[in-house]
Structure 1
């Protein structure tokens, strides 16, 4: 039996991650599971720990206990994606990775899936390139309105409070309303696999998605599948702000895709050029402001433990 390496973010969901580990570890001991636990102490630490761990390029089972941001760090730290099997116990605010992969929210149920997998799925891994730098993503990458929400949520005191009240998802809703009325939409050029460049006016955001959910449950790309070797791209453009405000609630059910101003398409690669530099994110983790980004898929897929 291979050893499980747990990557624990004790500060996820404002400290809930550490408390959840206190319920997980006794179960591992009781079952006599061979494991080690690597705790993260600061942003970027999970990536460093995983890079050191997988530098041997041998087979590893990594079980992440944290939020989407921790998953993102782990994905970016893996030296050889094809040699890793990934398990996940969601303890974050949005948990879109777990939602998209249909993993249990309950920590003990998620642990049961890791220890007794129903299926090992192969998952595509996205790659964002901006200003010559690369960063992988599991859920999505985006530029504009959705990324601005992620940037603000990362430093939000409201998020800490709502997490303690188990209402962390509302953080993104509140910030979305604030950003909607303060951010000005821009012109954009989008180029897909066929090399044809299309112009879009009054663009609020563009996201390339590997999973269907983003931002704490927004069902932005209902047809996105994490193993189909395609990215689903959504563009919100040429709409008055009031219309965007009214459409946002429908995105929780995926109904927004039927309205004018919402463009969804599939591709293997997308290049986006914005009129001005805007916030960028990968899996909800802020990236510096950029005018141009490119998103595509890695050749290798990662194995994910599923129910």
Structure 2
């Protein structure tokens, strides 16, 4: 098997490049046939992968980066059914790896790539907003969770905590800040083109392909990335203090037992809000919108897993 590595050397504030310098000698020593493409700017991975997969042939792509790099790669693939995806996590949140049970240790992750326990067929999400489409691997959301992603993308705190190997705390710190500055909004949720469900004081709504989001929040414990379904979570009609107290319970998935937390399953969802809110796909910021739609592609992508 020939591997094509898509390496984001800037992930986790430069840690990605350092990890690649350790990984590459192992590939050479093991006489693995590979080629490497390094990203140099936001969106570069999408452009590279689009060029690589435009030949219509099968490819084994290995992403070395964070969830954002996975998102860029997913969006560059011409035909997801002709790609086998491997992953060596080097980001701050690594929810993609967490959801698939992939090891965080780079050496162990490389072993999974070279000697996978199984090749899993994974669903790929599709976000539509204002007529534009963008794929997602983990989740897409609107509101509070997306605002956190927007701020994290430009936060100096993220750079500092990454250097201290505490990158996941970036999302916790920003979440506390956004919680007390952002106002909840009225929204309606339409599942599978059914009757609209109206919600007051919505903090955020997310459609999830994997159970984790935002650096380990276990928002949709029953979400499975191979079941052809999306899990939708809505947090609404709660005082901010209660939301603050509930956030830590979301690391264990206990939040789903409390009033104000709605978790539903569907094939497609439409989320409409009274005012434009931040939107994200796999933690990558998208422009403010009042409406988003999410569903799954008919095609699945193959992923190297344990």
Decide: shared fold, TM above 0.5.
yes
What is the CA–CA distance in structure 1 between the aligned matches of 2:89 and 2:75, rounded to whole Å? 18
Counterpart of 2:143? 144
Note if 1:32 corresponds to 2:12. no
Q: Which residue of 2 aligns with 1:234?
A: 233
Q: Is the 8 A contact 2:206 2:233 kept in 1?
A: yes
Show the 5 A alignment for 1:239-278.
239-278=238-277
Q: Aligned to 1:56, what secondary structure does the other structure show?
A: coil
- Compute the displacement of 1:85 (Å): 0.2
Task: Report the number of matched residues.
Answer: 306
Distance in 1 between residues matched to 2:74 and 2:279, nearest whole Å:
18
Segments of 5+ residues of structure 1 without an aligned counterpart are none
Match of 1:85 in 2: 84
**2:218 aligned partner:** 219
Counterparts of 1:57 and 1:236, CA distance in 2: 42
Corresponding residue of 1:306: 305
Post-superposition Cα deviations, 1:131-150, rounded to whole Å, max 9, x if no partner, equal 00000000000000000000
**C-alpha distance in 2, partners of 1:23/1:59?**
27
Verify the 8 A CA contact 2:193 2:269 in the aligned structure 1. no
Residues 225-249 of structure 1: per-residue CA shift (max 9 Å, x gap): 0000000000000000000000000
Q: Distance in 2 between matches of 1:273 and 1:263?
A: 16
Q: Distance in 2 between matches of 1:194 and 1:263?
A: 18
Q: 1:170 is matched with which residue? A: 169
Q: Secondary structure at the match of 1:281?
A: strand
Residue matched to 1:126: 125
What is the alpha-carbon distance in structure 2 between the residues aligned to residue 138 and residue 261 of structure 1?
26
Runs of 4+, deviation exceeding 3 Å: none
Task: Give the secondary structure class of the aligned counterpart of 1:202.
Answer: strand
Please list, as runs of the form range in 1=range in 2, the aligned pairs for 1:144-223 lying within 5 A after superposition: 144-223=143-222
- Which structure 2 segments of 5+ residues have no match? none
Partner of 2:71: 72
- TM-score, with normalisation over the residues of structure 2? 1.00
Q: 1: distance between equivalents of 2:293 and 2:193? A: 14
Q: Distance in 1 between matches of 2:86 and 2:56?
A: 18
1:64 and 1:251 map into 2 onto residues whose CA distance is 28
Shift of 1:194: 4.9
How far apart are 1:3 and its partner, in Å?
1.0
Mapped to 1, the partners of 2:272 and 2:81 lie a distance apart of 32
- Mapped to 1, the partners of 2:99 and 2:209 lie a distance apart of 9
Provide the rounded CA distance (Å) in 2 between the counterparts of 1:222 and 1:204: 19
User: Contact (CA 8 Å) 2:126, 2:136: kept in 1 or not?
Assistant: yes
Q: Does 1:100 align with 2:99?
A: yes
1:110 maps onto 2:113 in alignment: no
